Chain A
Amino acid sequence: MIWEAVFRLKVWPPYLFPSPWDVSQALAYGFQDKTFLFGTGTSVWRIVVGYSISLVFGISLGMLVGRFKILDETIGSFMGVLQTLPSICWLPLAILWFGLSEWAIQFVVVMGAFLSIAIATDGGIKNIPPLYIRAARSMGIHGIDLYWRVILPAALPSIITGMKLGWSFAWRSLMAGELLFVSAGLGHLLQMGRELNDMAQVVAVMIMILAVGVTVDNSFFGPIQRRLQIRWGTAQASR
């Protein structure tokens, strides 16, 4: 409504500020000729691969750093430093290492996501009340069992928070990467819209990018976090 109103006021010319109608036309058209489907599919596939790699690396690195003091003192502090570097800054390096390939963009995605996952996992493990571990040990639980049945579940709320953060970092990194190079994908469609001066398409693609992000947040992280909150009794909002 506000959007339509602003459009009608003609504050900006239509080629800079498209109407909702134009944008929905662009969306419909994009789906009709399947460019949007294809673009979304490509981006989602990339994020699935990149994010999965990030999860595996991030959680295992976080667990190692959280567990071994020597790793904490060496890699641990380094992780925080690296995390401050926007992941897209890895792109030039990635292009030199992997060429203009799928691998380069995956590298950027992983660099964007896995550190925040690792940092959250590490933090989660360090914040486990020692009492839980003592209680489990006193019941004769040790080694891998202790990890699997106490340390990991106790750190899970932090790990999920890290995963959520990692997901948004991964999605941003992917879009940045796709904008700058590599064919196909939503970021690329966005760039194409700009080059063709097709503002309606630009906004339509932005809506698509938002939709993917929100969908994953709501259908994946949302329910998991709600379930954890119910179990741990941290769901203040619902009471």
Chain B
Amino acid sequence: MRLSIQGVTKEFETRDGKILALDETSLEIKSGEFVCFVGPSGCGKTTLLNLVAGLETPTRGTILANENAVTGPGHDRVVIFQEAALFPWLNVIQNVEFGLMKRMESKKRHEIARAFLNLVHLTRFEKSYIHELSGGMKSRVALARALALNPSVLLMDEPFAALDAQTRGILHEELQDIFLKTKQTVLFVTHNAREAVRLADRVLVFTARPGKIKAEIRIEKSRPRDLIDPDWPIAYIKKIEVLLREEIEKVLKEEVDREWSLKKTDLLRPAGIDLGSGI
């Protein structure tokens, strides 16, 4: 699915007044492209993802999915959340079947669900309950549940952020294999530059709030990529981390200024610098 984001602005009402999360952002994404959004926390990258998903509506601007304006959520644009968001009242296979309910008879549904569980190597656990799974397994179930809907766009909101580096590495490989098979359009939010470089065709770096696209980096590396080889991504990662650091320093400086104006004394308190852990 081709996505066209045209002059999209998103403001949120909060108790302290309006917050501009995303400012006049325009972006074209080709069908079958893997795009990563990176940026400091609160830079509007997740907001943009939610806007494409139709879970939020833009304050100004439009989003087109294959020429049709996005007006609400739909099973052609499925989100995978960081916390997996699996339903504890259903077992694994029922979770995967969840989105297919009403769209086909139960036998067909079961077949599809099994096929996708097989794809993520979890056939053995189809009867397990969610709390019995490890973090990596949960991520896999969430992936299978989204893929079962056969969406045109996969929207992944830091899906592997809570996992340990080893599991994350394995999931990167599996995601790449799946991406090579299905050729779906993928939007992937992360604040981990390494993850972005390994997975994406194109990495978009966002500015700190209000969020805007600061830079665009094309990753010229053919697939299947060697996701273990530490050498090839280094130049890209450096470039992205320099850009990210500029933004993070901007945020820190703002925070320090604000604290000065509030006459706070604990200025030397360490602020949360998060460049994402290594893979």
> Footprint of B on A, CB under 8 Å?
131-132, 134-142, 145, 149-150, 153-154, 156, 228, 230-233
Contact of A135 (CB < 8 Å), options: B81, B89, B131: B81
Q: Is the CB of B130 within 8 A of A135?
A: no
Given A132-B85, A154-B87, also A139-B78 (CB < 8 A): yes
Residues from chain B with a CB closer than 8 A to the CB of A153 are 87, 89-90
Residues from chain A with a CB closer than 8 A to the CB of B130 are 233
Q: Is the CB of B89 within 8 A of A141?
A: no
* Residue of chain A at shortest CB distance from B77: A138
Residues from chain B with a CB closer than 8 A to the CB of A145 are 101-102
Q: Is the CB of B81 within 8 A of A230?
A: no
The answer to whether the Cβ of B75 comes within 8 Å of any Cβ in the partner chain is: yes
Minimum Cβ distance to chain A for residue B99 (Å):
4
The answer to whether the Cβ of B120 comes within 8 Å of any Cβ in the partner chain is: no
Q: Is the CB of B85 within 8 A of A233?
A: no
- Report how far A137 CA is from B53 CA in the complex, Å: 9
- Report how far A154 CA is from B90 CA in the complex, Å: 10
Minimum Cβ distance to chain A for residue B2 (Å):
20
Minimum Cβ distance to chain A for residue B241 (Å):
30
Q: What are the interface flags for B89-102 relative to A under an 8 Å C-beta threshold, 1 for contact and 0 otherwise?
A: 11100000011011
Q: Is the CB of A135 within 8 A of B85?
A: yes
Residues from chain B with a CB closer than 8 A to the CB of A231 are 88-89, 91, 129
Contact of B85 (CB < 8 Å), options: A134, A141, A232: A134
Contact of B99 (CB < 8 Å), options: A134, A141, A156, A232: A141
Contact of A149 (CB < 8 Å), options: B79, B101, B131: B101
* Residue of chain B at shortest CB distance from A139: B99
Q: Is the CB of B79 within 8 A of A230?
A: no
- Report how far A138 CA is from B51 CA in the complex, Å: 11
Residues from chain A with a CB closer than 8 A to the CB of B27 are none
* Residue of chain A at shortest CB distance from B149: A139
Q: Is the CB of B88 within 8 A of A139?
A: no
Q: Is the CB of A150 within 8 A of B87?
A: yes
Given A138-B79, A140-B99, also A232-B131 (CB < 8 A): yes
Residues from chain B with a CB closer than 8 A to the CB of A156 are 89
Q: Is the CB of B55 within 8 A of A233?
A: no
Residues from chain B with a CB closer than 8 A to the CB of A149 are 98, 101
Minimum Cβ distance to chain B for residue A239 (Å):
11
Q: Is the CB of A233 within 8 A of B74?
A: no
Q: Is the CB of A138 within 8 A of B53?
A: yes
* Residue of chain B at shortest CB distance from A153: B89
Minimum Cβ distance to chain A for residue B228 (Å):
32
Residues from chain B with a CB closer than 8 A to the CB of A230 are 129
Given A134-B55, A135-B81, A140-B75, also A233-B99 (CB < 8 A): no
Please list the 9 inter-chain residue pairs (A to B) with the smallest Cβ-Cβ separation, ordered nearest first: A233-B131, A140-B75, A139-B99, A135-B85, A138-B79, A153-B89, A137-B73, A232-B88, A131-B85
Residues from chain B with a CB closer than 8 A to the CB of A141 are 98-99
* Residue of chain B at shortest CB distance from A135: B85
Residues from chain A with a CB closer than 8 A to the CB of B131 are 232-233
Residues from chain A with a CB closer than 8 A to the CB of B87 are 132, 135, 150, 153-154
- Report how far A140 CA is from B102 CA in the complex, Å: 11
